[in-house]
Structure 1
């Protein structure tokens, strides 16, 4: 263990050091404190063993992989694992081609808590190696030209069509997303992530490199975590812009807290998460710990609720993840019908977007985020993508929903020079 004097300098060096390997994962809380996080930041580098699989029996393969290694593992779940869980399919275009599920056992693992860096896997000497690591950022084009899969009018038409489904009673709410992308583009992934993490520091930020594919994430949302026998989910539904004027900012925050439409969106997803957790819970243990909590981030205020339960000891914790996946905040209610409509109305395959990445510890604790506010990059094909979306309900105004999408995209657009 080593006490760090200059934490941000060490963090930057550690990320550049980890990026020299074919596989690495960096998870950063950006100094946001909560009752569930085990470390302030954690960095895993190089792979002893890898698991890569498509939807079909991916969760069972993960169970076998974990039970065989009984070690720290880091990885991600693609949204399209829904096809394994329910009778669904994904036929929209995919320009990124991430695996549906990927996990690795790291050769090196460093965790940071309360000013101290600790080597969990690997020799103690890697702390000194990181301290003396020299890096030179690549030169990249200042501005990335971003295109949209759906123009404003097309987006509005699709939202109105989804509202018709709500009027007919097919669904109550659906999370509708669309893609922003750039082709034939070269970026320095580490540099881009650092810029994003600076513009928009969030509690579940992360950098994930799998060979030539990258997730650069500024997500504020936790999907699911396990601490001991307790499962906790923290869905986000409800967004409002920030103001530089303190009094106005407080007024916006209060309006969000009392907004009936935003509360309706949030409570529908809370009910959905409660239902998902019930599948894995000790009977009667599902609890709403906080309803309509308002949390502030650099670009937005968010309405976040917290739901927890005691994990039934007869249920494998990986089945508990499967039982709650994909997360309610990114699907809708009822969940299966919402996912069918998502496939019908969205034009791009979600892939890793609105999936999740994180880690599982040797004792079966885990923490996984929601892949939103994230840049996805395929270095070999030079394709860059990010998606944004929001909850569509009966009360939704399609034009305002479009504006909210742009607000959610603002940090990424700024980082890419737009």
Structure 2
């Protein structure tokens, strides 16, 4: 029995919650899938909302030549929809869920050795001319102790995807945080947005931008994307007006929490007599999760993959009372059966694919399952003098870069308006101003009159920093700074590779032979605003520094945007 359905499709503008359906429509065999889709459209035409999914193994309902597993996942329908007259509307979630217990370990149904053999077999099929690209996937499973809807809400925030949907039934739950549109029908317009091409996010602004640019220009990923674009153009041409199929955006790169993805957009004018069933018959399953050509490639997938895919690589969507419809591609999707969670991840394999790179890509796509991102605010700390924020433009730039990286809302205009009101109330004294941007976009100011630094911040101790620098929290200033939590006073941090990094509240500068040197960002430091200015002015030079350099230094300094440059000493 149906319990709850929640649709979080960004283009709908708000969260839609559905309970107490008028009727449930389900198909457990391929012969029942087409009649179910006809019923879906009939109810839609009567003015109802209809929401549900079609699993990957339902493909044979649309073409007997499509090879899929003859069994489905335990307890799962090939197609399942609910019909609703009423909908509850709420704002989208914009704040993380606290105290989420993510599944502790995920077991892959495919070993690394088996994966390597499968890639070799795919390349042999490509060499023989049987396929151009195969979307080969892994299946991960884990025990799920957390409440399914609580976990879904966490994933909605963590993944920042556009096509999220939750379906809860007595027998199963579907937690889909898909970034990919399968198709949108708006009037007689048909839109698809295949997603193919991936690279992991960088940890710093520089590395992140480099990764984005690399993906945008990488010939392998562009070729993968364009193969699927051609496949979908052909599929859409079967049901569209002649000459109306157009590629409106090609190989655009989009930001997600753990990866950059390459997408393209294809639009057409539907033939006037085409139904929802006709759209599915022409397009399903989406070419981005099969490869090309579709029939031959699905046969290869069926030979190589051990388990049925289920809703993963199928589609989940909503039919609206006005006749429009939106369906996602069922990627980044957990299927809960009993207390077991199943999650699929994979990628397009071509002749130019490197096995290790493809395996890493699959792991990157699954990273949202492992990363329990802490609750934090974006932060910058500034000096206020005579009612003016010193280096205001640089602080705004820092906030904007951090907000872009973490996908926090930030409006420069709103920020300046609120800051102006805050500054009006001050006298001409000097102040320390902490500026925090919340996950919701709310801005908080914390003001304190600027006083002399306490003595324990002028005498530093050396401390080894054992945690990995491979985290965005190393390079972006936020309230999440775990290595500082148990420390009081000034410390100079040393990385696990032996390089000097930064101090507790500033960047480190050593004066050696009359010149000033500071560690480069890639040793794992914040690129402070004062540091940036000193380098730009030619007063400070970047260099890899070690404990031996501390002995050579005639002076040791720290610098930050509140205090400027000030001298510290090293406790012996």
The bucket for the TM-score relative to the shorter chain is: 0.7 to 0.9
Deviation at 1:192, TM superposition (A): 1.1
User: Do the aligned partners of residues 170 and 267 (structure 1) sit closer, same or farther apart at CA in structure 2, a change above 3 Å counting?
Assistant: same
Distance 2:292 2:30 in 1: 23
How many Å apart are 1:22 and its aligned residue?
3.2
In the TM superposition, what is the alpha-carbon distance from 1:114 to its structure 2 partner? 10
Tell me: CA distance 1:95–1:140, structure 2 relative to 1, closer, same or farther (3 Å): farther
Structure 1 residue runs of 5 or longer lacking an equivalent are: 1-20, 116-136
Q: Which residue of 1 aligns with 2:342?
A: 385
CA distance in 1, matches of 2:102, 2:286: 35
Matches within 5 A, 1:102-251: 102-111=80-89, 143-183=103-143, 185-251=144-210
User: For 1:338-353, what aligned pairs fall within 5 Å after superposition?
Assistant: 338-353=297-312
Cross-structure match for 1:400: 357
Quick one: structure 1 residues 326 and 172, their matched pair in 2 at CA, closer, same or farther if it must change by over 3 Å? same
Deviations 1:195-227 (A, max 9, x none): 212221211122111223111122110100011
CA contact (8 A) 1:355 1:370 kept: yes
Counterpart Cα distance in 2 of 1:383 and 1:317: 33
Give the distance between the partners of 2:43 and 2:202, measured in 1 at CA. 51
Number of the residue aligned with 1:126: none
Kept in 2: contact 1:44–1:110 (CA 8 A):
yes
In structure 2, relative to structure 1, the CA distance for the partners of 1:169 and 1:296 (3 Å cut) is same
Name the CA distance, whole Å, in 2 between partners of 1:144 and 1:107: 39
2:35 equivalent in structure 1: 60
Q: Which residue of 2 aligns with 1:275?
A: 234
Distance 1:214 1:327 in 2: 22
Q: Shift of residue 94 of structure 1?
A: 4.8
Question: Match for 2:12 among 30, 33, 38?
Answer: 38
Q: Which residue of the partner structure matches residue 54 of structure 2? A: 77
d(CA) in 2 for partners of 1:325 and 1:406?
26
Gapped runs of 5+ residues in structure 2?
375-572
The answer as to whether partners of 2:192 and 2:265 remain within 8 angstroms in 1 is yes
Number of the residue aligned with 1:9: none
Equivalent residue, structure 1, for 2:283: 324
Paired residues of 1:196 and 1:415 also in contact (CA < 8 A): no
> What root-mean-square deviation, in Å, do the aligned CA atoms of Structure 1 and Structure 2 show?
2.4
Change (3 A) 1:292 1:207: same
Residues 67-104 of structure 1, C-alpha deviations (whole Å, 9 max, x = no match): 15621111111111111122245337654432011111
The alignment's TM-score, normalised by the length of structure 2, stands at 0.61
After TM superposition, the structure 1 = structure 2 runs for residues 399-418 of structure 1, keeping only pairs within 5 Å, are 399-415=356-372
Show CA shifts across 1:6-31 (max 9, x none).
Answer: xxxxxxxxxxxxxxx933221224xx
User: Distance in 2 between the 1:339 and 1:415 partners?
Assistant: 35
Partner SS for 1:46? coil
Q: SS in structure 2 opposite 1:144?
A: coil
2:68–2:299 CA contact under 8 A, matched in 1 = no
Residue in structure 1 matching 2:79, options 78, 101, 104:
101
Cα 1:217/1:297, change in 2 over 3 Å? same
- Summarize deviations over 1:347-370 as a string: whole Å, max 9, x none: 010111101111101232100011
1:142 is displaced (CA, Å) by 5.9
Aligned partners of 2:372, 2:306: CA distance in 1, in Å? Answer: 25
Deviations 1:354-397 (A, max 9, x none): 01111101232100011111111013xx2211010100001001
String of CA shifts for 1:251-301, please: whole Å, max 9, x gaps.
Answer: 111110000000000000000010110111011100001000111111111
CA contact (8 A) 2:8 2:164 kept: yes
Matched, 1:23 2:13: no
Residue matched to 1:360: 319
Deviating runs (4+, > 3 A) in structure 1? 88-97, 111-115, 139-143
State whether residues 122 and 349 of structure 2, in contact with CA within 8 Å, keep that contact through their aligned partners in structure 1: yes
Q: Give distance in 2, aligned partners of 1:376 and 1:261.
A: 31
Moved more, 98-107 or 293-302: 98-107
Q: Write the distance in 2 (CA, Å) between the matches of 1:248 and 1:140.
A: 29
Tell me the secondary structure at the aligned position of residue 56 of structure 1: helix
Is structure 2 residue 29 aligned with structure 1 residue 49?
no
